[in-house]
Amino acid sequence: MAINDLVKQIPVREKLLSAPLTPLSDVRLLGSKCSSCGEVSLGEVSSCQNCAGESLTTIPLSARGTLWTFTVIRNKPPGDFKGQVPMGEGLVELPDGIRVKSPLGGDVERYQIGMELKFVAYPLYVNDNGQEVIAFRFDPV
């Protein structure tokens, strides 16, 4: 048995969520802030997307944001889709100076551009090793 098989929860993508993954209410999205130009990127990255600088600091991103735009997905996407439809997907503007593409929670019929949203980490599914895969979404406040 591999050491990773003993971990009970894993992030949906490495270097995207803060650790530890418990309690879920303490988990945050991570960002990288460039010390040269101030650009903020999603996740831990090694170089700035704006200026190619290599001096970046990992920061927790804000837990609140504003819905900048959205769409409602009403048909199940192809492949091994783990979510439910209908579902919302939106661009969430954070006060950190970044917009994050994210699944949206709540009633899809109530989404409004400009509404306040809050970050939520949640178990998306259990993988073949019995580990909860932790994902994120933004829910209406």
| pLDDT (average), residues 103-126 | 97
Its pTM stands at 0.90
Number of H helices, E strands in the chain: 0, 9
- 2 or 122, which is more confident? 122
Q: Which of 137, 110, 105 is nearest to 121 (CA)?
A: 137
Give 23-73 pLDDT, tens digit per residue: 999 999 999 999 999 999 999 999 999 999 999 999 999 999 999 999 999
Q: Which residues pair with 100 in a beta bridge?
A: 92
**Token code pair at residue 141:** 């406040």
- Going from N- to C-terminal start, the domains of the chain cover 3-140
Region of 66 (left: φ > 0; alpha: ψ -120 to 50; beta: rest) is beta
Banded model confidence at residue 4, pLDDT cuts 50, 70, 90? low
Q: How do strand 56-60 and strand 30-34 relate by DSSP bridges?
A: antiparallel
